[in-house]
Amino acid sequence: MPQVGCFDTAFHHGLAPSVSCFTSPRSFDKHGIRRYGFHSLSFEFVARRLREISPELAGKRTVVAHLGNGASLCAMHDGASIDTTMGLTPLDGLMMGTRCGAIDPGVLLYLQQGLGMSVGEVEHVLYQQSGLLGVSGLSGDMRVLLASDDPRATEAVDLFTFRIAREIAAMANSLAGLDCLVFTGGISEHAREVRQNICQRLEWLGVEIDRAANDRTDMCIHTERSHVDIRVIAANEEVMIARNCQAALHDPLIASAVRGFTRQKL
C-alpha cells in the first residue's frame, strides 16, 4: 500500500535564514538545529481558503493565529510562510494549554542545577504542567478558565492574550505591515472573549473588531473602519492531508514509482 507523509513543518520550508537560524554555534547546524515551525497543515489550509474567498485577500500581509491546546502564529504573504512562532519543537513560541512556549533558557538550567531536577522531570514540566494549566493551577482548557471566577484563571487568560498580541505585532514587523488577521483552531473559533481581547490589544495597528459580529462568530468580524481584515476560518487539517495525498499520488514521478512497486509485489 503506497503511503504518503504530510509533514507538519513543510509549509515553513522556505523560511529565510534570518528567521530559521538560532543564535547557537554554527557547528550545531549539522545536527539539524534550526527553527522549523509547525501547524503547517492548518496554515496551508488557511492560505488556500483565503485564495478561494478572494485572490486579493490571499495577497495581503496576513497573520494567522492557530490557537488551541497547541498554539502558534504564522506571518504569510501571497500564500507563503514568512515567519512563525514555533521553533525546533512545538514547545517554543506562544503560551499553550500545558506547554510553556518561549522561556528563558536560564530557567531550565536552574531547574536542573539549582533544584536538582532530572532532564525527564524538566521535560514533563515544560510539556505537561506549564502554560494555561501551570499559570492558573486549575486547567489547561480555555473553556474552564473562561467560566471560572478564580483570579488565577483570569490571570492565565490575560497572559495568554497578551503574549499572542505581542507576537502578532512581531509578525507584523516581519511582514512590514498587517492587512489581515485570521483566527483558526479550537480556541480561536469558539472563544469570542479571547478574540476580542487580542484585537483590543492591537488597536494601535489599525485592528478594530465588530463586537456583534464577533459574538456571532461570523467569518468577518472587523468593522468598516478597521484597517485590518479580521477573519474566523474553521481549521480543517484533515482536508489538507487528503489534498496533499491526492497531489502526491497524481505526481507523474510518484505515480510511476507506485506502479513499479506494485508490479514488483505482484
192-206 as b/e, with b when 16 or more CB fall inside 10 Å? bebbbbbbebbeebe
Q: In what order do the strands lie in the sheet with 229-232?
A: 80-84, 71-77, 62-67, 180-184, 229-232
- Cell (9 digits) for 44: 496551508
Distance CA 225, CA 206 (A): 9
Residue tagged active-site, from 8, 83, 92, 229: 8
The owner of cell 480555555 is 142
Mark whether 8 is an active-site residue: yes
Percentage helix, strand, coil for the chain under 3-state DSSP, each rounded to 5:
50, 10, 35
Within the chain, strands assigned E span 62-67, 71-77, 80-84, 180-184, 229-232
Distance CA 9, CA 41 (A): 8
Positions marked active-site = 8
